[in-house]
Amino acid sequence: MKGCTAGRVVDTYFVHSTLTAVASSARRATVDAFSSERFARARRAAVPAAEDQVTPGVCGSGRLGDVSLGGCGHDERVGTGRRSGGVGTRDAHGTGDSVDVGAYDRYLGRWSRLFLPALIEAAACGRGDRVVDVATGPGDAALAVRDVVGDDGVVIGCDIAPAMARAASQRSGGTLAVVVADAKRLPFPDATFDAVICQLGLMFFPSPHDALVEFARIVRPGGRVAVGVLSTSEHVAMWGVLAAVLSGHLPDQHEIFHLSFSLADPDTVTELFTAAGYGAVQVEAHVRGGEFKSLDEYWEPIERGIGQLPHAYCSLPEPVRRRVRDEVNDHLAPYRDGDRFAMSVEALLATGHR
């Protein structure tokens, strides 16, 4: 496994090839009350066989403290790194070597970060805590919670895509440890962490239920899991409008385009947490606002193909892209205020106790 530090790829160490034993077969057999077969198929299509291709490993020289990887008597650690600057790149879908992190940030990151203080508060993270951030992407949530737990705590990012892990590591200047692993097969022993957070990732997992069961396994008794998911497409207009218009031109991909909003029902999320064995489950809607200074600012990251919907848009022939752009612009007209477009995002923050 290759590790990254300060933007330079170096050999760090190999992580044990056998992942931690995951939740028991009895728990694995629990029926996922949420996923209809149609959405299960859509999830599999959106992330084809990714979970079968994951090689667990670590990027960066960020400290793991005494957190072990592998859970089979294998206790690999990395040294404490100093915090510094540095921004890495990864590809749009985490499948290649690099991507324009700035474009990713303009498309998704700027909106996702608005909810991080509430997510971290919901997870009851405090100084000295051990926290894992699943589906860390370029590391925004992991870096935010690291400021909360301080030098006495441990924060580890986790992503299924090696390029995502590299981006998060490089963005931290190599000081954040990021594990490459599948969310339903996390390479940590039972009851390792005080909290697990997952921001805008759960709705894309092939089985949200299995992921929540795995989160519960690695959290200590009394610990918390906090998850952020998007609300309905109507309450996330900047992406909902694009998903609807693209679905009109590519109707066979409608369900894939709407995976972002597939956990928008609070009752569904509550049922998922309850079925996974959590107590004191709470699901609350949060709204955050922002704006685009122009339509050009809205379209710029989409034209770069960063993310699932932009990638689909960029794959269309130029005449079709022009029609999509015109239709989306028409639908965004109600949000216009002069040259600016005032938008808002609604997300559900769900928490449960182990």
Query: CB neighbours (10 Å) of residue 221?
Result: 7
Contact between 203 and 262 (Cβ < 8 Å)? yes
Give residue-wise pLDDT tens across range 237-288. Answer: 999 999 999 999 999 999 999 999 999 999 999 999 999 999 999 999 999 9
Band of pLDDT at residue 101, cut at 50, 70 and 90:
confident
pLDDT, one tens digit per residue, over 116-163 is 999 999 999 999 999 999 999 999 999 999 999 999 999 999 999 888
Long-range pairs for 43-47 at CB < 8 Å and ≥24 separation? 43/204, 43/205, 43/206, 43/207, 43/259, 44/206, 45/256, 46/204, 46/256, 46/259, 46/308, 47/160, 47/204, 47/206
How far apart CA 297 and CA 107 sit, in angstroms, is 10
Give the model's pLDDT for residue 178: 94
pTM value is: 0.78
Q: How many CB atoms lie within 10 A of CB 268?
A: 18
Superfamily for 36-353? Vaccinia Virus protein VP39 (3.40.50.150)
Q: What is the pLDDT of residues 3-19, one digit of tens each?
A: 222 222 222 222 222 22
**Domain boundaries of the chain, sorted by first residue:** 36-353
Closest of 146, 131, 136, 148 to residue 112, by C-alpha: 136
Q: In this model, does residue 298 exceed pLDDT 90?
A: yes
Task: Report helix, strand or coil for 138.
Answer: coil
Question: What is the average pLDDT value for the chain, to the nearest integer?
Answer: 79
